[in-house]
Structure 1
Amino acid sequence: MALTDITRREVERAIEECDRLGRDAFLKHHGFQPARRYLLSHKGKHYDSKAIVGVAHGFLSGQQPLAASDFSGGAAHAAGLLKSFGFDIAEEHPVTGLTVDDLVHRVTHLKVNRSSGHRALYQPIALLWAMGRALRGEPRLLPWSETEKALKTLLERHGARGERLRPDYPLASLHRVGVWALHDYAEPVPTAHGDAQVRRWFDANQPLGGLAEPLYELFRESEVTRLAVIDELVDTFFDGLDCSPLLNDVGLVDLEAADLTETTERGSEPWLITAAEYERGCRLVEQREAKSQWERVSRTTQSPRRSRAVRRLVLGRSKGLCENPQCTGQPADVTDQKHPILEVDHVMDLANGGRDHPSQMVALCPNCHAVKTRGRTRETLRKTLLRVAAERHNAMPRTV
């Protein structure tokens, strides 16, 4: 085994295989983990440098791909070899040991400065913009000039608490906690402290940047997580503000209609969700619920807060069928968005102490919903549905 036998030709064949299989399948097939630090940048896309070199070895005559344990992926080995062939190597922010859930937690627990007693909007505006890009499948990484222009426009329109036109400041903070990736820079990234230093660094280095890749993929693929994170950001940072113009500008308004028309691996039932999505969504909903209890006194808006993520969780749990065990039939048709004709309902009204949580909500066909709301037997049906909601929630598979 000798890395020095590999040429650019074998590397390009490994890149072609990664493009054909997709990153996750490529890594799984060859037994590699995602790159912790060094990424190969090629034609606007990024690849795990060590995995590419290991697979490239298998394209040498009479050789097999190398296992991850056979060699080092560091700057002096795999990454250095790729650089010698003229490839650009991007250095990802080190987030060793952080899971996707860790990164989501960092997004929903942002530490921001306050102005006049309110949380500054720099970071949430930047994150919502990036989430909209992920939803539309736009490139994860952008040159600094494009990022700066887009975020300046949003800060000018929606910086309702005196935010200056300074996109560099929030991105330095998000990068510091591993949420925002920066590539192709020569000098160490400064902290978000030191006003002039941060501006000078971005202007001088012109980095390529965007959401950390695990977050980008999660926000692109999981509607439940996306809705839950948007709910959390809006509730935490935009209390007393109408954020609908901002959500409209970043493409995050009519999510349910937009998402369900996409072609997904779930085929004709794109509203279905996995056990992992259900579990993560419930954790985020419960986190939001707990926070709202101790923040309620200080909130400007006192009305109960309804979560779109919860409705999506219940719909996915229902498998497209009315959850009333006494249902005598429901529409076999679906909506234009391939949505089952079901209405997600709180068994107990929020105003009467009910929870905005899947354990107290059900998906009902229009007829059963009408009976539950104004039928003569509604009180008996409510008791049945409250039991069913808890049973359905508790029966959902849990990830290990």
Structure 2
Amino acid sequence: MALSDLTRGEVEQAMEECDRLGRDAFLQHYGFRRARRYLLVHRGSHYDTKAIVGAAHGFLPGQQPLAASDFSGGAEHAAGLLRGLGFDVVDQQPTGIVTHDEFVDRITRLTVNRSSGRPALYKPITLLWAMGRALRGEPRLLPWSATEEALASLLRQHGQRGERPRPDYPVASLHRDGFWELRDCADTAPTAHGDAQLRRWFTDRQPLGGLAEPVYDLLGHSAVTRLAVLDELLNTYFDDLDPAPLLAAVGLDDADTADLPERGPEQWLLTAAAYERGCRLVEQREERTHGRRAARTTNPPIRSRAARYLVLSRSEGRCENPHCTGQPTDVTDRNHPILEVDHVVDLTRGGRDHPSQMVALCPNCHAVKTRGSTRESLRRTLQEVAAERHRSMTDAARIR
């Protein structure tokens, strides 16, 4: 076995054979399965990296093709070798995302076009649109014509950095990222770097598509994960823009309270485990955004919608001031208690955007804490309350 002896010539011979036989026949002939992650892209076509390298070895003088068990197809082996030879290898991340932490982490590493000097909004707008659909429980997969119409309209209205109304760009890229499923097409979508070829592929095949099922389930069923993703997208791509019109258009303008139960139940629906998981996501984000401020005229501190949701849920719909004399009996339009989430120590004074230093207060207690003559005493009390309530929830999660 001499992988280091391979040149572009043997690899191109293997790709030519794959083109001649067809992908499935080529894989069957050499005993390989479809690539789970890395694909070789060459002249608009896609090839299974490990199978191509195994077959290419057989084109070396005096050598035989390699079997799948002879070497690894990972980044350090087949994929790395092909990249070293100057080929374009794309990482089609697996869609089997099972953890909240992994999903949010991958959102932070999203690759977008930055040729204009600022990150393009194609993929963020597409993800926000799909998140709104998941929140409302709408069908996960849509015909391409419906996806194209909806996204083209959003890109036309809310693409504030010169984005064209071309939904095929973000969908093809998100498919490569493992976030988007495309059905009813026998071949793999081209990379998102083309123009006419990419548009023609979607027009000809009309794939049924939408968020990958694990992604859709996470965004649809976990408010904490959805808000953590929303925080990342807005703070990364819209920090110098006003995202409010876009959020209203996709139905995410009240996402941080959408899953809160209506007033009435004694126990709001947030488990201790979900609270602890949410705090972990908030802490990871806190590390990434420490000291950052939004790039707007007033430069407000970057705040977390996920943290606000955790505090409201923890409060069970009641003011967290132990000396509260009675919160309003009226409710919001969504039938929620009138509560305001407050940082016990202001962010501008070094406070943390974290549930352990945040409380849910009725308007009266909030006013006292902000400008009442007893505010310093109340702040000390609320610091203890916030820490204790946070500790109680996390302790319960560990016991279970």
Common fold by TM > 0.5: yes
Counterpart secondary structure, 1:186? coil
What's the counterpart of residue 358 of structure 1?
355
What's the counterpart of residue 113 of structure 1?
113
What's the counterpart of residue 344 of structure 2?
347
What's the counterpart of residue 270 of structure 2?
273
Letter in 2 for 1:185: C
Letter in 2 for 1:231: D
Q: 1:246, 1:185 → 2: CA distance? A: 31
User: Is 1:391 paired with 2:388?
Assistant: yes
What's the counterpart of residue 186 of structure 1?
186
Q: How far did residue 120 of structure 1 move?
A: 0.8
Q: How far did residue 199 of structure 1 move?
A: 2.5
CA shift in 2, pair 1:301/1:321, >3 Å: same
**Structural mapping, 1:23-38, within 5 Å:** none
What's the counterpart of residue 153 of structure 1?
153
CA shift in 2, pair 1:188/1:336, >3 Å: closer
CA shift in 2, pair 1:164/1:367, >3 Å: closer
For the 8 Å contact 1:100–1:215, the answer to whether it is kept is no
Structure 2: state its 5+ residue gaps.
Answer: 1-35, 37-91
CA shift in 2, pair 1:363/1:96, >3 Å: closer
Counterpart secondary structure, 1:351? helix
For the 8 Å contact 1:350–1:356, the answer to whether it is kept is yes
Structure 1: state its 5+ residue gaps.
Answer: 1-36, 38-91
Q: 1:131, 1:297 → 2: CA distance? A: 23
For the 8 Å contact 1:342–1:366, the answer to whether it is kept is yes
**Structural mapping, 1:1-400, within 5 Å:** 94-96=94-96, 98-255=98-255, 259-260=259-260, 268=265, 271-293=268-290, 295-296=292-293, 302-331=299-328, 334-396=331-393, 397-398=396-397
Letter in 2 for 1:113: N
Relative to the length of structure 1, the TM-score reads 0.68
Which stretch of the first structure deviates more once superposed, 293-302 or 171-180? 293-302
Q: How far did residue 307 of structure 1 move?
A: 2.6
For the 8 Å contact 1:344–1:361, the answer to whether it is kept is yes
For the 8 Å contact 2:359–2:382, the answer to whether it is kept is yes
Counterpart secondary structure, 2:138? coil
CA shift in 2, pair 1:257/1:243, >3 Å: same
Q: How far did residue 141 of structure 1 move?
A: 0.3
Q: 2:169, 2:362 → 1: CA distance? A: 49
Q: How far did residue 329 of structure 1 move?
A: 4.3
Q: 2:387, 2:273 → 1: CA distance? A: 19
What's the counterpart of residue 50 of structure 1?
none
Counterpart secondary structure, 1:337? coil
Higher Cα Rg, which structure: 2
Counterpart secondary structure, 2:216? helix
Q: How far did residue 98 of structure 1 move?
A: 4.6
Q: 1:369, 1:214 → 2: CA distance? A: 40
Give CA deviations for 1:108-159 in whole Å, capped at 9, x if unaligned: 4311120332111010000011111112221110011111111111111111
Superposed CA RMSD? 3.0
For the 8 Å contact 1:141–1:211, the answer to whether it is kept is yes
Q: 1:349, 1:100 → 2: CA distance? A: 29
Q: How far did residue 252 of structure 1 move?
A: 1.4
Q: How far did residue 360 of structure 1 move?
A: 0.8
Letter in 2 for 1:382: R
For the 8 Å contact 1:327–1:368, the answer to whether it is kept is yes
